A and B are shown apart, each in its own frame.
Chain A
């Protein structure tokens, strides 16, 4: 429990810091200009650095995790997705795993029935929660692109329309906002409720979830209750992009909280487990073909090793080999 309390505490401190900074000290320049710029620089540089760091370590051995029938005899149907033998197969495998989190779909929970009988229960809730979270996050990020692009591309307008299709029923609600809130609540609660997941959770695991929740909640509140002037916000962003920064007008504390948490997570991203996003593309258990007896894989740091040669072996055993009539090289 220490982990989550610690993270809640950290988030509260950060909220207070923002409130004091904005309302008390009036550090608009800091929150609206310096921190966002710094965060973007740290994010981009850190992200690239980490990816290059991975890329600089070679893949010495050919180690795909095979999850289907290999390609061997022509009359045995090979599985080109789970045991890919073409690059197309690898792309399909990665695409399915990245877009639809297929491994989590296989998830099942093991329970023990006294005294010694195992029960396997399909458990797709994590899959659903993770999928809901990531897809709604993606849609929300795409929706935000309208602040960065002028004119706003039709695709984004359509996306926004679709996302708010329920507006006829419930005013000004984005489907993605509702979904991400539920998904976040689930992801957070499972870390608190399930003893095993609680046991493995680090303070930083809670912190990331709480940070994203802070962004989402402040965003929704800005939309529903404490409205900000979106035209002004867009002007501020466009000015930032043109490197002629001025603090935004027509915004409130919630906006600064939203912005501060975004900046914080952007800067934290390359330092954290959030790097799983680019990482999965480089995962050598997933992005290699299962054709290692066909295509020789080269280890760039391969070095000679000491071996016990046949001659050394025969020298030790020649006598007894001859005795039982085994052929020898030297008499």
Chain B
């Protein structure tokens, strides 16, 4: 276990910058800090450039002969295509306000994890080749030659950024390092430098419809398994339509929901909820993934994967789309999908069939977040909820980066939580909402081989959880992001043992009193409900 070895060493964090100037490229490929490169077969499947066997720790990266030319040409193209890219490279004044806002810097003390320097790694090359001052004044104006060492440094640090946008909140000009990292990764990808944890899920998703590579028949059997489990817990046999043409709503969630843990209990929560309200909906196997690892690779690959959602909605002739609990999935849906693959003029403006609420904020994209949907149900008294069934939990809520800073969905999940559990405590104000700290494993970094980087990056989040654990005895961290659910458990086990992780709709599923259900003796995890709870429960 990587955690074990780390425990022995105990992660040291030192904020003193090194004596050597950052201008010297310095990427040290130490085990535990970086992701393994993409397997050629997945790159080939997606027809990506320069598929090959290589290792970052080795000297020869097997770059194409003209790699420098490719990168510089790629930069020029992107400078012309993205105002954000050119502008953010030009206007930074290096005030340093962003420096200690990045979770990777806070957890590592590595100055190149300060957003300003992460960008400077690329900005210095931009100055050298694309600005007059850089060409004339050189190092005085912070210009750097593009060398193989610089490229390696890009690889190290652009895959050590989770595109969480926290720095952008604190930057006086709104400079978003996410935009820079995205460009940096696109450039690296032009010469085939990427990590497997991004390319393999993307290739799986392209082929099978989901990151985990689950074929349709396996999807069906996992759904059947869930149906059985729900029957055991509640005595209710729920219907779960798959690939059903003519349903009113297409439901799309991240694939981890039906294959990962603790996502699974959120999955059970969705199924129970949809059963209870009698929703006319369907799952899809072709579009069985809400997440989009293409987004961590390039805009083009993101668009290729995202296309499935609308094309499946069209094929199944649904009216609108409902989306499950996921972070970057919602950044893509909220800010990119309509641009990528719209207009969705074959769909109707979303309208809740249960409450009649028109979701005016999704008129064009026609996709509604499950928390918007459920909050509306609760507000309109359509659900009978027994929050005591969640009494074993003292709950806090982690805002996912993309959901908060990429979307602004802040109150909906909190409103749901206040209705489905009795004890809810917020983490300190500077670590939630738009200032939320990343889990440290987003944007394709949630792999095992880079566990040290992940633990460091997740440290500020864990530190805030520790605070509410000590203050209020919090023992459950809820969130609405599949990557959070997968990566926060090992993080908390390392930094704050005794805190579990759950999705909001797991708690909804627990609290939901379903018509005709038997008296529940366990929660969705199969853990016994509180003793006194059973007695006065009707």
Contact = CB atoms under 8 A, between A and B. Distances in A.
Given A59-B83, A65-B165, A68-B434, A285 B176 contact: yes
B530 interface: no
B169 A284 contact: no
A105 to B, nearest CB: 10
A69 B333 CA distance: 17
B538 interface: no
Interface string A291-323: 111111111011001111110011011001101
A247 to B, nearest CB: 29
A282 B300 contact: no
A272 B133 contact: yes
A326 B375 CA distance: 32
A72 B361 CA distance: 5
B277 interface: no
A272 B312 CA distance: 49
Interface string A63-91: 11111111111011101001100000000
Given A73-B375, A326-B243, A327-B243, A199 B22 contact: yes
Interface stretch (B66-74, B409-417, B438-446, B481-489): B409-417
A106 B431 CA distance: 12
Given A72-B372, A197-B96, A316-B207, A297 B339 contact: yes
Main secondary structure of the interface of A (DSSP, over half): loop
Residue among A70, A82, A198, A279 with max Cβ neighbours from chain B (10 Å): A70
Contact of B430 (A68, A108, A302): A108
A314 to B, nearest CB: 8
Given A103-B171, A326-B285, A66 B87 contact: no
Interface string B95-110: 1110110000010000
Interface in A16-67: 50, 53-67
Contacts of A306: 47, 304
Contact of B10 (A58, A60, A115): A115
Given A54-B87, A70-B408, A317 B372 contact: no
Residue among B242, B299, B335, B365 with max Cβ neighbours from chain A (10 Å): B335
A195 to B, nearest CB: 5
Main secondary structure of the interface of B (DSSP, over half): helix
A249 interface: no
B408 A83 contact: yes
Contacts of A82: 408, 434
A202 B333 CA distance: 39
A72 B357 CA distance: 11
A149 interface: no
A109 B96 CA distance: 11
A71 B409 CA distance: 9
Contacts of B415: 76
Contact of A324 (B80, B217, B340): B217
A283 interface: yes
A205 B360 contact: no
Contacts of A110: 100, 106, 460
Interface stretch (B52-60, B136-144, B504-512): B136-144
B7 interface: no
B120 interface: yes
A144 interface: no
Contact of A107 (B131, B170, B175, B406): B170
A290 B408 CA distance: 8
A63 B335 contact: yes
Contacts, number: 311
Nearest to A98: B172
B147 interface: no
A196 B17 contact: yes
Residue among A200, A271, A273, A296 with max Cβ neighbours from chain B (10 Å): A200
Contacts of B520: none
Given A63-B176, A271-B132, A282 B87 contact: yes
A293 B160 CA distance: 30
B375 A53 contact: no
A60 B81 contact: yes
Given A279-B90, A280-B173, A313 B357 contact: no
Given A272-B133, A297-B338, A194 B96 contact: yes
A296 B338 contact: yes
A326 B299 CA distance: 32
B217 A203 contact: no
Contact of A66 (B141, B367, B404, B412): B404
Given A72-B372, A83-B408, A284-B87, 10 more contacts: A53-B86, A54-B87, A57-B79, A57-B80, A199-B111, A204-B137, A271-B133, A280-B173, A307-B307, A308-B308
30 contacts: A57-B80, A60-B339, A61-B339, A62-B335, A65-B176, A67-B408, A67-B434, A69-B410, A70-B361, A73-B376, A76-B412, A76-B415, A82-B434, A103-B169, A108-B430, A195-B16, A195-B17, A197-B99, A199-B17, A202-B142, A279-B87, A285-B179, A286-B174, A293-B361, A293-B363, A320-B215, A324-B216, A325-B220, A326-B285, A327-B244
